[in-house]
Amino acid sequence: MSYAPDESTSRDQAAQHEFARGVQTRSDAGLHLPSRRQVMLAGLGAASALLLAGCSAPADAVRGSATPSTTPVAVKPAVAAVSPAQASVIGQHVTITGTGLKDVKQVTFGTTKVPVTSASATKVVVAAPAAANYQPGTVDVALLDGTGATLASKPQALTYVVTAGVGAQMQYALAHWTNYNTAEYGDLNPVGGDCANFVSQTLIARGWTMTDQWYNHNAAADWGSPWGYVPSMDTYFADNAESLGLEKLTFSQEDRAKVGLGDVGIFFWGDDTEPDHTEVVDKIEKVDGQYKISLASHNNDVAFRDLDTTITTEHPGSTGHFWHLTR
């Protein structure tokens, strides 16, 4: 027996479809109100649609868009390069590039630790210290945090080289304060002392040239008094200060602020009125706001000799002055 849906059943099915879509329908005679059966059927249809949407729609469509994770990934500190890769033996500013460098507070060059000038995530600027005893060589570089812990390092990263001028003078002074260069300049200790001879040698290394007064020929077989005798040297410097680019400074703290590496110290032991000794400045430090000057010499053969100890403890009541080299 066949069954044909009556007219009301067809209308119910059409109403169910439209209701599920949220569409109101009207008959030719006006608004068509759904029957109780139509409402029930529409409710079942809507529930089914929601169930299907929950299975097939993307999760974000149901819960709303999820915010992607923005947790930063830690960058391991690493040194890429040191620029320039060669620095003067007297020290100079260098730039260290790499990654994860923002927490770097100190840098060690070889065994010498110094504070940084500035640091960012990719760059550290720092004043590389002088090479040990101003001698050329290659050193490891290590980057440290505020506690002194090593963050990154690069072996053999910086090479110290002897540069013209002060660099060459310091390298010579520290190479020969105890190892006399007698083959070239002889030894004047047998005739009163070799201190002026040594200081003059360092000035030659700096770039000075001998004159008809200031000279040493044939390993001290022939030498001028201003070259190897302190009183004559002091007078020669005073008489030719302008042409030699010299400025006379006292041992006061105010004048010590102007002193540079390679400057010449002249000493009057005790209450002597004529100079007795000369040395060359080999180190300058500022400690608790005070300038500490150290010097190298022959007779006594010494390097990094503290100025204040020399004129107060070793030779009480002594005085002196510097000849500051302006070029």
Let me know whether 153 and 170 are in one domain.
Answer: no
146: domain range? 78-161
Does residue 274 have a pLDDT over 90? yes
Give 11-22 pLDDT, tens digit per residue.
Answer: 444 444 333 333
Let me know whether 251 and 113 are in one domain.
Answer: no
Let me know whether 250 and 236 are in one domain.
Answer: yes
Which whole number is the average pLDDT over 76-84? 97
In this predicted structure, what is the pLDDT of residue 154?
97
Output phi, psi for 190, to 5 deg.
Answer: -65, -15
Let me know whether 299 and 178 are in one domain.
Answer: yes
Which whole number is the average pLDDT over 231-248? 98
Let me know whether 195 and 120 are in one domain.
Answer: no
> In 35-189, at which residue ranges do the beta strands (DSSP E only) sit?
78-83, 86-88, 92-99, 106-109, 112-119, 123-128, 137-144, 150-161
In this predicted structure, what is the pLDDT of residue 81?
97
Does residue 83 lie within any of the structural domains? yes
Output phi, psi for 166, to 5 deg.
Answer: -60, -40
Does residue 228 lie within any of the structural domains? yes
Let me know whether 217 and 264 are in one domain.
Answer: yes
Does residue 291 have a pLDDT over 70? yes
Does residue 84 lie within any of the structural domains? yes
Which of 125, 142, 161 is a domain's end point? Answer: 161
Let me know whether 120 and 251 are in one domain.
Answer: no
Q: What percentage of the chain reaches a pLDDT higher than 70?
A: 78
Tracing tokens 């030779």 back to the chain, one arrives at: 315
Give 114-151 pLDDT, tens digit per residue.
Answer: 999 999 999 999 999 999 999 999 999 999 999 999 99
Does residue 284 lie within any of the structural domains? yes
Which of 161, 177, 194 is a domain's end point? Answer: 161
The whole-angstrom separation of Cα 95 and Cα 128 is: 9
Does residue 69 have a pLDDT over 90? no
Let me know whether 200 and 321 are in one domain.
Answer: yes
**Mean of all residue pLDDT scores within the chain:** 85
Let me know whether 257 and 278 are in one domain.
Answer: yes
The whole-angstrom separation of Cα 116 and Cα 288 is: 19
Which of 109, 132, 161 is a domain's end point? Answer: 161
- Encoding tokens for residue 124? 């550290």
Does residue 65 lie within any of the structural domains? no
Let me know whether 178 and 310 are in one domain.
Answer: yes
Q: How many domains does the chain have?
A: 3
Helix (H, G, I), strand (E, B) or coil at 65: coil
Tracing tokens 């209701």 back to the chain, one arrives at: 19
In this predicted structure, what is the pLDDT of residue 74?
78
Give 29-60 pLDDT, tens digit per residue.
Answer: 333 444 444 444 444 444 444 344 433 444 44
Does residue 41 lie within any of the structural domains? yes
Does residue 285 have a pLDDT over 60? yes
Does residue 73 lie within any of the structural domains? no
Let me know whether 104 and 187 are in one domain.
Answer: no
Which whole number is the average pLDDT over 221-226? 98
Give the pTM: 0.77
Contact status, residue 321 vs residue 241, Cβ threshold 8 Å: no
